[in-house]
């Protein structure tokens, strides 16, 4: 099975209670990506996404642009691995 680009992204700031996860889900429909977005108990939002390099990077950048007024800090880590997700969901 071919490997895909995978990123784990943590967004900090005023990112919960502002429609962040729903907005990320809408942005995901514009890209060929799979994964999920979820709120964390520490107030951050976690995004797990995989797909082709340019699709994943474009998606994360689009989420940052769409929600820039709410995001104070973005932490991104990337790797390559076997695909683990099917579709994009809110958890």
Catalytic residue numbers, as ranges = 21, 39
Q: What range defines the domain where residue 76 resides? A: 4-85
Q: Is position 47 within any domain?
A: yes
Confidence of residue 58 (pLDDT cuts 50, 70, 90): very high
pLDDT, position 42: 98
Confidence of residue 69 (pLDDT cuts 50, 70, 90): very high
Q: Is position 55 within any domain?
A: yes
Q: Is position 90 within any domain?
A: no
Q: Is position 60 within any domain?
A: yes
| Percent with pLDDT over 90 in the chain | 98
By DSSP bridging, strand 88-90 and strand 71-81 are unpaired
pLDDT, position 2: 87
On whether the CB atoms of residues 66 and 34 are closer than 8 A, the answer is no
Residue 1 has pLDDT above 80, yes or no: no
Which residues have C-beta within 8 Å of that of residue 66, sequence separation ≥ 6?
A: 23, 27
Q: Is position 10 within any domain?
A: yes
pLDDT, position 77: 97
By DSSP bridging, strand 45-51 and strand 33-39 are antiparallel
Q: Is position 12 within any domain?
A: yes
Q: Is position 91 within any domain?
A: no
Tens-digit pLDDT profile for residues 20-39: 999 999 999 999 999 999 99
Average pLDDT over residues 58-69: 95
* CATH number of the domain to which 58 belongs: 3.30.70.100
Query: What is the chain's length?
Result: 91
Q: Is position 26 within any domain?
A: yes
Tokens 């958890």 appear where?
91
Overall domain count for the chain:
1
């Amino acid at each position: 099975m071919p490997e895909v680009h995978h990123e784990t992204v943590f967004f900090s700031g005023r990112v919960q209670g502002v429609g962040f996860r729903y907005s990320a889900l809408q942005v995901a429909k514009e890209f060929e990506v799979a994964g999920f977005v979820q709120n964390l108990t520490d107030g951050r939002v976690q995004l797990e996404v995989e797909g082709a390099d340019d699709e994943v990077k474009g998606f994360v950048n689009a989420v940052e642009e769409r929600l820039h007024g709410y995001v104070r800090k973005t932490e991104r880590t990337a790797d390559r691995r076997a695909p683990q997700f099917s579709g994009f969901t809110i958890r």
